[in-house]
Amino acid sequence: MLSSPARKLLLIFLLVVIAAYISIPPVIPVSIHFGPINLDKNLIRRGLNYSFGSINIQKSFDLILGLDLAGGSHLVFEVDTQNIAGDKKETAVQATRNVMERRVNLFGVSEPNVQISSFEGRDRVIVELPGIHETREAVELIGKTAQLIFAEVGSEEKPGLIHTNLTGADLKSADVSFDQTTGNPVVVIQFTQEGTKKFADLTSKNVGRPLPILLDEVPISSPIVQEGITGGSAQISGEFALEEAKNLSIQLNAGALPVPVSLVEQRTVGATLGAEAVDASVQAGLLGLGFVLLYMILAYGRLGIVASFALLIFGVLTLSLYKLIPVVLTLPGVAGFLLSVGMAVDSNILIFERFKEERIRRPFADALEVSFGRAWDSIRDANIATLVTAFVLANPLDWNFLHTSGPVRGFAITLSLGIAISLFTGIVVSRNLLRVFIKESKR
């Protein structure tokens, strides 16, 4: 029967195999041209895709890259809540965020991120758009209040445009279409029941006169009413390019922003810079890891080899955890990971140094066990300090007075995860590996 440490090792081994499977990239090109063998195939690592009965499990096990690695835009809009009463501010900001998110989703960005951040009375909505580099359209689309109001042309007593009570809120849907006659893009709108009634009244009252349609107080279309329209649908035809028509329909569908917003911060990373950064990170990671392994083996001999295994296991477990949670990986996040590799090694070093000392005064097996125990105190105390700092930086509870987004947080999250896992590999994995594989050398 296998000894207890060996059994634990078996469990660890199984865990590692699963983790390794999750870690490897989804497509591995295999290309072997050697002698008679000519092989050019792509190995595909499938994700999880099971459905039995009503249960449907789907997970793709891909690494989610942050904006600075994948390329994309980070926009920050400040919400102007000046005119809103104190207790209604929060709802207004939340509503604004929701409308923005609807617009972003309709825009068709994959994996966008829209969140609120408040600090000292300033409310902001942060929008992250992976893969979008040309931001002009996105900013227009998301940042425009887009309040649609139907107006009547005034008369001599009351000149100017008079707002009616028919607004964008009375719309059921908006779609892009093409004018039958001119072929120009138009936006076709459908009113709700109430809207249909209002529209019918309005058009009957104004036959023969223009009925201006205002978007944020600017007339975008001013059709002349031919007859009362009871069908509940209308067509907005202005001088639209196709893009403008699409954006307008998105804005109408998502609704108007309850409060105005302005862009206060924008960061865009082009895809090339992102791809370079990914390559650089991978290279740095591999090189650093290589050095560390070499050093450990030179400094600690057999023990060093065990530590190297533990380190590789650490790497695989961490990577698979990033994919499972998932953690969005940014460049500082990579730095956090590399730093935690260094700290993971520290746990091992503490154990080994202690072992060297204990070996002098005790028999081998005792020395091993004692060194684990004694080293654990140091490891725990020392790592807690780093964990506390990383915790404060990562701000998982979303406290407003600390960072709520950005590179700092990304770094802290990978660092904390890395340290937590390193505690596991340092103590559980290294311990059992050492127990099973390091036998006293026969004299």
Partner 1 sequence: MDWLKYRKLYFSISTILIVMGIISLYTFGLKLGVDFKGGAILEYKLENDISTEEVARKIEEQNIEITSIQTVGDKTYLFRLPPIGQEEKDKIKNVVTETVKGEVEELRFETVGPTIGPELVKKTLYAVAVASAAILIWVAIQFKSLKFGASAILAMFHDSFILIGAFSLLGYLLDAEVDFLFVTALLTTLSFSVHDTIVVFDRIREISKIEGRPLARKASSPEGELNKVANKALTETMVRSLNNSFTIIFMLTALLLLGGSTIKWFATALLIGTILGTYSSPFVAVPLLITWDNLAEKIRRRK
Sites for partner 1 among residues 13-72 (CB under 8 A): 68
Give, as ranges, the residues between 139 and 198 that touch partner 1 (CB under 8 A). Answer: 139
For residue 302, state whether it binds partner 1 (rule: CB under 8 A).
no
> Are 211 and 228 spatial neighbours (Cβ–Cβ below 8 Å)?
no
Between 57 and 299, whose beta carbon lies closer to partner 1? 299
What's the burial of 192, exposed, middle or buried (CB within 10 Å: 0-12/13-18/19+)? middle
**From the list 14, 389, 398, 440, which residue makes contact with partner 1 (rule: CB under 8 A)?**
389
- Binding of partner 1 at residue 136 (CB under 8 A)? yes
Q: Point out which span in 148-156, 178-186, 273-281, 421-429 binds partner 1 (CB under 8 A).
A: 273-281
Nearer to partner 1, 80 or 357 (CB): 357
- C-alpha R_g of the chain: 31
d(CA 291, CA 340) in angstroms, rounded, equals 15
Q: Where are the alpha helices (DSSP H) in 362-406?
A: 364-394
Q: Which is nearer to partner 1, 60 or 262 (CB)?
A: 262
What's the closest the beta carbon of residue 190 comes to partner 1, in angstroms?
A: 32
Binding segment (CB under 8 A) for partner 1, from list 91-99, 129-137, 198-206, 435-443: 129-137
What's the token pair of residue 110? Answer: 């994959």
- Residue 278 CB, nearest approach to partner 1 (Å): 10
Among 133, 172, 359, 362, contact with partner 1 (rule: CB under 8 A): 133
Among 263, 305, 420, 438, binds partner 1 (CB under 8 A): 263
The answer to the question of residue 287 lying near partner 1 (CB under 8 A) is yes
Q: Looking at beta carbons only, is 153 or 305 nearer to partner 1?
A: 305
Helical pair 331-361 and 430-437, crossing angle rounded to 10 deg: 40
Measured from the CB atom, is 212 or 332 closer to partner 1?
A: 332
Q: Which residues pair with 27 in a beta bridge?
A: 44
Q: Tokens for 52?
A: 């039995």
Q: How far is the CB of 250 from partner 1 (least distance, A)?
A: 19
For the chain, how are helix, strand and coil distributed in percent, rounded to 5? 50, 25, 25
Q: Is 377 in the site for partner 1 (CB under 8 A)?
A: yes
Applying CB under 8 A, the span of 48-56, 145-153, 222-230, 278-286 interacting with partner 1 comes to: 278-286
Tell me which residues in 201-260 interact with partner 1 (CB under 8 A): none
Rounded Cα distance between 419 and 186, Å, is 57
Asked if 84 touches partner 1 (CB under 8 A), the answer is no
Q: Which of 81, 113, 135, 308 binds partner 1 (CB under 8 A)?
A: 135
Least separation, in Å, of the C-beta of 388 and partner 1?
5
CB atoms within 10 A of CB 379: 22
Backbone angles phi, psi at 269, to 5 degrees: -120, 125
Q: What is the CB neighbour count within 10 angstroms for residue 70?
A: 21
Choice from 210, 407, 420, 424 touching partner 1 (CB under 8 A): 407
Give phi and psi for 222, each to the nearest 5: -145, 70
Closest CA to 71 of 271, 247, 320: 271
Q: Are 57 and 269 in contact (CB under 8 A)?
A: no
Tell how strand 72-79 and strand 261-269 pair up: antiparallel
User: Which residue shows structure tokens 């975008």?
Assistant: 220
C-beta closer to partner 1: residue 148 or 393: 393
Evaluated on CA atoms 402, 407, 412, 413, the torsion sign reads positive
Q: Please report whether residue 79 would count as binding partner 1 according to CB under 8 A.
A: no
Say how many CA atoms lie within 13 Å of 195 toward its Cβ.
Answer: 17
267 contributes a contact to partner 1 by CB under 8 A? yes
Residues 312-351 that bind partner 1 (CB under 8 A): 331-332, 334-335, 338-339, 341-343, 345-346, 349-350
For residue 288, the minimal CB distance to partner 1 (Å) is 4
